[in-house]
Amino acid sequence: MAIRKVGVVGCGLMGSGIAQVSAQAGFPTVVREVSANALENGMGSIRRFLEDGIRKDKLTQAGMDATLANLSGTVELGQLADCDIVLEAATEHLGLKRELLGALDRLCKPETIFASNTSSLSITQMSAFTKRPERVIGLHFFNPVPLMKLVEVVKTIRTDPVVLQAADAWCTAIGKTAVHCGDSTGFVVNRLLVPYMLDAIRVFEQGLATRDDIDDAMKLGCGHPMGPLLLTDHVGLDTTCYISEIMFDEFKESRFSAPPLLKRMVMAGLTGRKSGRGFYDWSTHPPS
């Protein structure tokens, strides 16, 4: 089975990146948002990323035009009915995913593959929201989607191997490297990454080192492209806290528990880059 037409649900940080890389690789791609305003915001960030690519000599104007020609936006879920794969990158709320997958199941052709970009919810549970559980997988992308090469391809005990093969082929076609993993909370990357980010916050909370020294230590000592506190600002403190709560609930291990400082910062609205302030102040001096 070949993937020709792609649907993406959600045009936020992750959904816009997924729609972009799909369209950029030549796939007709329809991206759906809940409102015209949210759709315009998402499309705007795609256009800005492509324009930035032209400025950096990574893309030509013709390449940008071709990408945008492959991309269409909608607020109607029904526009995704004839897609060969629909990737959902909607808000991480199980009730919402239940509603969404149920509706897509009714609207889409029987062969359509459903993929979720969830970072922490169970793909198995989501597959049970449809009448086609063997065609439901996880395709977990990384932020920023156009620059990060990895996709975690997540299978459940019911996934049809043919669906995995089609997903692998599509990941290769959009220039990503797929790694396979089973449906366990956090998959591979967040299973390792989240405790590391939480530990960095604990080190900061305990006053062992300053923010900049913690970030410099991991950048310069371990060759990471950015330090863990800056990375948490990028991912979002609310998202990190939410993932850690789901992981703690699953594994009951203290390394997955959210440090009090993280919870307090989320309560105070200091969610990182998206709100203008987290460990760093993004409003006046965005960190490099």
Answer for which of 69, 147, 220, 267 binds ligand CAA (CB under 6 A) is: 147
User: What are the residue ranges of helices labelled H in 25-93?
Assistant: 36-55, 61-69
Give the CA count within 13 Å in the CB-facing half-sphere of 78.
1
Strands 71-74 and 85-88: unpaired
Work out whether 216 is an interface residue with ligand CAA (CB under 6 A). no
DSSP string, 110-158: TT-EEEE--SSS-HHHHHTTSS-GGGEEEEE--SSTTT--EEEEEE-TT
Considering only residues 100-129, where is the footprint of ligand CAA by CB under 6 A? 119
Of the candidates 225, 252, 254, 283, which one interacts with ligand CAA according to CB under 6 A? 225
| Cβ-based nearer residue to ligand CAA, 78 or 175 | 175
Q: Using CB under 6 A, which residues numbered 269 to 288 contact ligand CAA?
A: none
- 86 is written with which tokens? 């629909």
Active-site residue, selected from the candidate residues 117, 190, 244, 257: 190
**Locate tokens 């790694």: which residue?**
179
CB contact at 8 A, 176 and 147: no
Q: How many helices (H) and strands (E) does the chain have?
A: 11, 8
**Between 49 and 129, whose beta carbon lies closer to ligand CAA?**
49
Q: Is residue 231 within the footprint of ligand CAA (CB under 6 A)?
A: yes
Closest CA to 83 of 152, 159, 18: 18
Stretch that binds ligand CAA, among 140-148, 175-183, 208-216, 268-276 (CB under 6 A): 140-148
Length of the chain: 288
SS3 of residue 229 by DSSP:
helix
The answer to whether residue 190 is catalytic is yes
Tell me whether residue 137 or residue 235 sits nearer to ligand CAA (CB atom).
Answer: 235
Q: How many residues bind ligand CAA (CB under 6 A)?
A: 16
Locate the DSSP E strands across 156-270.
177-182
Tell me if 143 contacts ligand CAA by CB under 6 A. Answer: yes
Catalytic residue among 16, 22, 70, 119: 119
What is the separation, in whole angstroms, between the first and last Cα of the chain?
44
140 is catalytic: yes
Residue 150 interacting with ligand CAA (CB under 6 A): no
The smaller minimum CB distance to ligand CAA, of residues 158 and 219, is found at 219
Of residues 53 and 73, the one with the C-beta less far from ligand CAA? 53
Distance in angstroms (rounded) separating the CA atoms of residues 91 and 74: 17
Question: Binding of ligand CAA at residue 244 (CB under 6 A)?
Answer: no
Site for ligand CAA in 28-67 (CB under 6 A): 49, 52-53, 56, 58
Binding site for ligand CAA (CB under 6 A): 49, 52-53, 56, 58, 119, 142-144, 147-148, 190, 225-226, 231, 235
Residues serving a catalytic function are 119, 140, 152, 190
